[in-house]
Structure 1
Amino acid sequence: MKVRSHKKDKVNIITLGCSKNMVDSEVLSGQLMANDIDVVHENKKSDHNIVIVNTCGFIDKAKEESVNTILAQVERKRRGQLDKVYVTGCLSERYKNNLEQEIPEVDAYFGTMELPMILKQFEADYKAELLGERLLATPTHYAYLKISEGCNRTCSFCAIPLMRGQHISRPIEELVKEAENLVKKGVKEVMLIAQELTYYGLDIYKKRMLPDLLNRLADVNGLEWIRLHYAYPSKFPLDILDVMRDRDNICNYLDMPLQHASDNMLRAMKRQITQAEMNELISAIREKVPGIALRTTLIAGFPGETRDDVESLKSFLQHHRFERVGIFTYSHEEGTTAHGLEDNIPHEEKEARAQEVMEVQQEISFEKNQELVGKTFKTLIDKKESGRYLGRTEFDSVEVDNEVIINSSKKLPIGQFVNVKITKAYDYDLEGEVVG
């Protein structure tokens, strides 16, 4: 008779979706480790016996990927390769009852704010003193810093408030301590993330406090780059830009999802801003921080979008010439106010419109990159692939933006800064050589 050995549990965390989910997985890992539980991220060795799938429930493609991942892990459990499968994150928060009925083989489902409940499955205690202690899933030279949770905005297309709740800011002292701990681990760059950065502080300090937070973080010794992601354009606090201009270690980079440019679409999306107001804001940003790299995200195929709306968006891009642009096709999400509208644009047409808009941006990106040839930039070395080093300038965030391809016969330390002179430029990437 086979007797099951009492081998120590090893937990593998699979993270799907955005960087905010990744931070949640890192915090969970830190808690498990503090309770003497062996934990890894995205384990390739398959020597674990427990899996936690941290899901995304944002749009259709993300939900499909999450469900497929859960099913794959359940199948491994059925074959005897796993003892337990747990599911957490946004999909689980939003569709827990449905999932329990459809995939009952999962041992337990948890919402986005139920970390202590997950730990109970391991007879582990939540340790509040572990503030900011995380097992990084990123390379050790950069990390995401989540400054708040949830969102109070009412954009008609967005299901995030359904999954993450109302906006809750984290205290400045807590964030500064976490940044200091990250630097001790070797982190050189932190990317500030939230559902909405500019709302930071309104709940706990009764005023917008992002400029104050930025100044405090900029004082953290050893923190060389601070990058801002996901700022909301309506009532944008312009004093953020003064801090960005005055502090050397705050990157001249701003990720500000605009979603659309036609007034018709902006109203339907409940974005609380007009194209004229966006024009004014973008001009003010570029005037206050010369040379800033602006990244935005757009939606193609929102209900009722016309050809005129698409042309308005293309003209807007050509006028403002953003350094970086991403685009999603509209996803019809239950529980959002837009779900009451008719999703009247076929999927193929949504994709075609997204492609059409990106072709405009591709040309802009190529032209802007060509202007960089011959210039030298401080570049952070991220990794080495196929004999070449890949790095980023302050104008590029990890995974979503340009990379600098560096051919060097000398060994370049990963996670260190070097000066790179740009020798070639492509649509979305640069090539260069180390100087100095």
Structure 2
Amino acid sequence: MRKNTIDIVTLGCSKNLVDSEKLMKQLEANGYKVTHDSENPQGEIAVINTCGFIGDAKEESINMILEFCQAKEEGKLRKLYVMGCLSERYLQELKVEIPQVDKFYGKFNWNELLADLGKTYQADHAIERHLTTPKHYAYLKISEGCDRKCSYCAIPIITGKHISRPMEEILDEVRLLVSEGVKEFQVIAQELTYYGVDLYKKQMLPELIEQMAAIPGVEWIRLHYAYPAHFPKELFRVMREHPNVCRYMDIALQHISDNMLQKMRRHVTKEETYQLIEEFRREVPGIHLRTTLMVGHPGETEADFEELKEFVRKVRFDRMGAFAYSEEEGTYAAEHYEDEIPHELKQQRLDELMAIQQEISAELSHAKIGQEFKVMIDRKEGEYYIGRTEFDSPEVDPEVLIKEGEKHLRIGHFYQVRVYDADDFDLYASLI
């Protein structure tokens, strides 16, 4: 056990990661040495930032807590703290079930941990973070919470109502991160398109992105987690006019049949969805669309599922993820629908949908052979440099593999490459 050392473990999404990075900065400002996601934790204190989104994530969080509880019982750890979405949602139950944890915090009161350690929150470090990503890119969280009430989703229960960060504060954070060497920003929120409605009485995402794009040193801006209903169309112009706004949109569509969209309480129709996709591709030529779809939601018939498969075949998403419905207590679906579709059938539908997408992904990848791209180099693995195009977000999207050659490539720098081969997902390229 190293005195004055704290291990932070982050589970779940990039929004959680930003919270961990802020906490790490505060702990360092108070004199602690901090490590992140250490596979070999050596600190006398551990903080686990949990996820509580779906069943698998909750299970992973519980298992991680129990693992650290055991380390504490074996004398390898002096104090154990838990924060994040799981403890926000199940605070009282967790206190009773896992008493070995010294204290549970929710998602928004983690700065109380500093006081419990006998330290103070350093307001002058409020927008600062200890980046855990490679130093050339960062996640930028522009709001918390969600006002959408989709039937299946527990996020509004966990995070509460949508709260936008003031635009000036976000822009100050961008300038600070640029001064520290960040070139690429993944803009994230539970729901991007609602940004500004609470503070400025209108959707302000296009204006925010335009102002970000004007900051010297911002090379790439990529947008994650948009909502299809009432999409702010002014964003199309911003993407077209600013070369540093990546032609990339992560927009969770969930389903396409009107029956399911209504049951899911998505406030959008099949026709509107197809129209929006058409507009994206017409207004922002070359845009790559990433989406997430769900199978097995209560009430999904075979006809609904066939419609979903047809949608995937027809639209040919550049990036697509999917998951099977799992009932979350407190949601509209849990209280009003019966989870009547067997797990095996959900899994079968999921496998079928992803098989269709894998074929599409392979075709789209191979179509890039012979094309030239600007690539950001993230790291080196074995004999390959690993990079990404503007169409690839870190960790979730395909990568570009460039064989080590005569020229030494610098991590965090851009290079022009030509693609000479592809597999189902990744591209192989050589320097131009």
Q: Does 1:315 align with 2:310?
A: yes
Aligned to 2:149: 154
Aligned to 2:120: 125
Give the whole-Å Cα distance in 1 for the aligned partners of 2:322 and 2:376: 26
C-alpha contact 1:408 1:434 (8 A) present in aligned 2: no
**Does the CA-based 8 Å contact 1:140-1:187 persist in structure 2?**
yes
**Does 70-79 or 33-42 show the bigger shift?**
33-42
Question: What's 2:402 paired with?
Answer: 406
SS in structure 2 opposite 1:182?
Answer: helix
Pairing of 1:24-43 with structure 2 (within 5 A): 24-43=19-38
1:183 touches 1:223 (CA, 8 Å); kept in 2?
yes
Does structure 1 residue 220 correspond to structure 2 residue 215? yes
Residue 219 (structure 1) shift: 1.1
Query: Would the aligned equivalents of 2:11 and 2:50 in 1 still touch at CA under 8 Å?
Result: yes
Find the residue that maps to 2:225 and give its secondary structure: coil
Deviations 1:388-416 (CA, angstroms, capped at 9, x unpaired): 11111001111111111111213211111
Question: Which of the residues 240, 253, 263 maps onto 1:268?
Answer: 263
Could you tell me how far apart the structure 1 residues matched to 2:127 and 2:402 are?
34
Distance 2:40 2:58 in 1: 26
Q: Residues of 2 paired with 1:296 and 1:137: CA distance?
A: 26
CA contact (8 A) 1:131 1:174 kept: no
Q: Are 2:412 and 1:430 aligned?
A: no
Please point out which of 123, 130, 133 is paired with 1:135.
130
Matched, 1:382 2:378: yes
Query: Which residue of the partner structure matches residue 171 of structure 1?
Result: 166
Task: Answer whether contact 1:408 1:433 (CA < 8 A) is retained.
Answer: no
**Comparing 115-124 and 105-114, the one that deviates more:** 115-124
Report the CA distance between 1:45 and its aligned residue. Answer: 4.3
Where does residue 202 of structure 2 map in the other structure?
207
* Match in the other structure for 2:415: 418
In the superposition, the TM-score normalised over structure 1's length comes to: 0.97
* Residue 205 (structure 2) pairs with residue 242 (structure 1): no
Paired residue secondary structure (2:111): helix
- Partner of 2:100: helix, strand, or coil? coil
Q: State the distance in 2 between where 1:433 and 1:323 align.
A: 22
Kindly provide the CA deviation profile for residues 49-101 of structure 1, in whole angstroms up to 9, marking residues without a partner as x.
Answer: 11100000000000000000000000000000000110000000001111111
2:3/2:44 contact within 8 Å kept: no
Letter of the structure 2 residue corresponding to residue 405 of structure 1: L
Corresponding position of 2:326: 331
Amino acid across the alignment from 1:193: I
Residue in 2 that maps onto 1:342: 338
Match of 2:392 among 393, 396, 402: 396
- Do structure 1's residue 254 and structure 2's residue 244 form an aligned pair? no
CA drift at 1:43: 2.1
Asked if the contact 1:314/1:357 (under 8 Å) is kept, the reply is: yes
Task: Give, in whole Å, the separation in 2 of the partners of 1:385 and 1:116.
Answer: 37
Distance 1:214 1:394 in 2: 16
- Counterpart of 1:302 in structure 2 is 297
- Counterpart Cα distance in 2 of 1:282 and 1:46: 46
SS in 2 for 1:229: strand
| Paired letter, 2:56 | K
Q: C-alpha offsets along residues 227-248 of structure 1, whole Å, 9 cap, x if unaligned?
A: 0000000010100111011001
Match of 1:352 among 348, 356, 378: 348
Contact 1:131 1:178 in 2 (8 A): no
Residues 203 and 296 of structure 1, relative CA distance in 2, 3 Å threshold = same
Counterparts of 1:99-118 in structure 2 under 5 Å?
99-118=94-113
The alignment of Structure 1 onto Structure 2 pairs a total of residues equal to: 430
* TM value normalised by structure 2: 0.98
Residue in structure 1 matched with residue 360 of structure 2 by the alignment: 364
Give CA deviations for 1:235-290 in whole Å, capped at 9, x if unaligned: 10100111011001000000000011111111111000011000111111111000
Deviation at 1:115, TM superposition (A): 2.3
Residues of 1 paired with 2:325 and 2:120: CA distance? 41
Secondary structure, in 3 states, of the residue corresponding to 1:423? strand
Alignment correspondent of 2:277 = 282
Unaligned 5+ residue runs, structure 1? none
CA distance in 1, matches of 2:224, 2:41: 34
Residue 194 (structure 1) aligned to one of 189, 198, 208: 189
Q: Secondary structure at the match of 2:393?
A: coil
Tell me the secondary structure at the aligned position of residue 276 of structure 1: helix
- Distance in 1 (CA, whole Å) between partners of 2:202 and 2:255 is 28
Distance 1:41 1:124 in 2: 20
What residue identity is the alignment partner of 2:343? H
Moved over 3 A (4+): none
| Shift, 1:116, TM fit | 2.3
Aligned residue for 1:10, secondary structure, equals strand
> Match of 2:43, SS?
coil
RMSD of equivalent CA atoms: 1.1
